[in-house]
A and B are shown apart, each in its own frame.
Chain A
Amino acid sequence: MTIALEPAVHGDKVSLLRVLGPAHVWALGVGIVLVGEFTGWNFAADKGGALAALIVCWVVGLLYTSVAMIDSEVTSTVAAAGGQYAQAKHIVGPLMAFNVALFLVFAYTMLEVSDAILLGDTIVAKAGVEGLNHNAFIAATIVTLAWLNYRGVLMTLNVNFVITAVAYVSIVILFFSVSPWTQGAVLKLNELVTPGNALPYGWIGVIAAFQFGIWYYLGIEGTTQAAEEVRSPARSLPYGTMAGMITLLIAAAMTWYVCASMMPWEYLGTTYYPLWDAAKLTGSPLLENLLFIATLLAALASANGCINDAARAWFSLGRDRYLPSWFAAVHPKYRTPYRSILFLLPIALAFAFIADLNQAITFSILSGVLQYTFMSINIMMFRKKWPLGSIRRGYTHPFHPLPAIVLFCLCVVTFFAIFLGFGSQLIAMVAFYFLISLWFHFYRYKFVRRGAQFTMPWPKPQGY
């Protein structure tokens, strides 16, 4: 599939290019998330034991299924770059939109930082060479992927599709090569997870594990960022997102089963490479190398998708003048938000050099959960302001308002989990969002056009 990159200034306007299909949406969503199976989810075991990691895998899976359903409905209707940002702008209001865009940019940039650190550390661990520093690999990852993003969205997501698929297949291969149908040969689940150690901290450990349970799926909602570049958003976005969610639920279950059956939870909870370690423990050099490469690919795919998404969100902020309109530039040849990509590049690099993996992950999770809280309220308002039938929806999610309520409750639990681990950081983050909101509301908003922000061809919302 190739698209000629005509130096396209048709007339005197440039815009993003509509070239993506559902497979790209899948690659964007799963690509960002899959790295979570290779590192991150296992910290949930540290927080509450192996069984807690499984429980949160399911319960947080439910949270994200709600996210995917809600998101599919809203975004198949509000199809614009910026995803949840454009949703918030049309449904809740400008200040909310500004905050949501910041959640997005933070969540993705910090996720990108975590990916780059993971990739650097994995290579250093593999090399085992004295004095080898991970900075070179971090820099190469971030800069190369930024370059790829700069050069065009189609190539970026084609690459993502391939590397995500390879990483995913490697999990499946690992799963089937440890004979999952028999216990005792390679897998020793009942000896490693015993009634005595399944929940070492009791139920509070399960709650605490929510924080990293998020990591099984964090980023699946990023599919919506592609809305302006998908050929048929009303169909492709729900389809790609749901397919992605199913893929991830399967991967998460397989990953837990293999890892918990091969490592004591104390080790599982603290290693940075649960799947790679599992492959090592099988004793097969082939598997070990496969999972080493898959870890790198998953990290690359994730960072790649994150750059894509963060840049789209930042770009949208510029386009509405929430931030200087300078960021809203589209590259006339590659049709990408190139200034946003370049602007976020040094920020990601700086944090990759100074932060550590655990902290970067926590920043990302925090912004993610703030965003999910917003989504649960957003869908309620959406259904109220534009009831079913008043506008054309690409997809209508079932059981409303149950998913929204489930999502909201699980967000509250996750906030409590974050409090157990990173309470003061949460307060610091919210204080930041609060201050920057004041700045926006009382100063920055004066540069924003009012009516022009509302771009959807919808009737007037009910109650206004």
Chain B
Amino acid sequence: MSRYTPPEQSKAGQVFDIAVVVVAIFVALWLPLKLGLAGAAKSIDALDAKTWEALGQNPTMASIWEKLGYTPETAHDIIQNRFHYFIDWPTLIIMAAVLIGYFIFLFRASDREYRDVINEKFDDK
């Protein structure tokens, strides 16, 4: 098998490639933040009676909250801020499909490239 000689990349090309990568990184990391996609579904289940008992805190817990500088009123929003887990099947299926598809693509394309590498490396000798 003949040896593959890669083209030399020009300076401008190198700079451009770096720019592509940087932009991609920022878009990938920043866009979800901007679109507000990040963060789980948490919401406050408000209670009317704001006492330690109503918030489900026993005397030991209550004394610790007080030591930390909280009253039942200020602790209410922390304690009652709960997750509401539910399985959103369409999203789960999309996620699974995206992940599996991604990994399959990775391994297949890698394998194709890998065979070239092995051929060139071991046929030279």
Contact = CB atoms under 8 A, between A and B. Distances in A.
Nearest to A88: B110
A413 B35 CA distance: 26
Interface string A199-234: 001001100100000000000000000000000000
Contacts of B110: 88, 92-97
B83 A47 contact: yes
Of residues A277, A326, A428, which shows the largest number of chain B Cβ atoms within 10 Å of its Cβ?
A428
B118 A460 contact: yes
B123 to A, nearest CB: 8
Contacts of A106: 25, 29
Interface in B21-38: 21-22, 24-33, 37-38
B105 A430 contact: no
A264 interface: yes
A420 B65 contact: no
A153 B113 CA distance: 34
Interface in B75-125: 75, 78-79, 81, 83, 85, 87-88, 91-92, 94-95, 98-99, 101-103, 105-107, 109-122, 124
B98 A99 contact: no
Given A93-B114, A323-B18, A428-B37, A423 B64 contact: no
A292 to B, nearest CB: 16
Dominant SS among interface residues on chain A: helix
Nearest to A48: B83
Contact of B4 (A93, A97, A449): A449
A451 B60 contact: no
A123 B92 CA distance: 40
Contacts, number: 193
A441 B4 contact: no
B88 to A, nearest CB: 7
B17 interface: yes
A380 to B, nearest CB: 11
Contact of B65 (A267, A423, A464): A267
A324 B17 contact: yes
A201 B85 contact: yes
Contacts of B99: 415, 426, 430
Given A94-B113, A266-B79, A421-B40, A428 B31 contact: yes
A147 interface: no
B68 A267 contact: yes
B61 interface: yes
A450 B4 contact: yes
Contact of B32 (A267, A428, A444): A428
A373 B98 contact: no
A192 B58 CA distance: 8
Contact of B94 (A277, A351, A421, A427): A427
Contact of B68 (A205, A281, A448, A461): A281
A277 B58 CA distance: 20
Interface in A407-448: 415-416, 419-437, 439, 441, 444-448
Given A205-B83, A264-B61, A422-B40, 18 more contacts: A93-B113, A94-B110, A188-B60, A192-B60, A266-B75, A281-B64, A324-B17, A358-B39, A377-B107, A415-B95, A428-B37, A430-B98, A432-B24, A446-B7, A447-B6, A447-B9, A451-B121, A451-B124
8 contacts: A94-B113, A270-B81, A324-B17, A425-B32, A428-B37, A435-B24, A449-B4, A464-B115
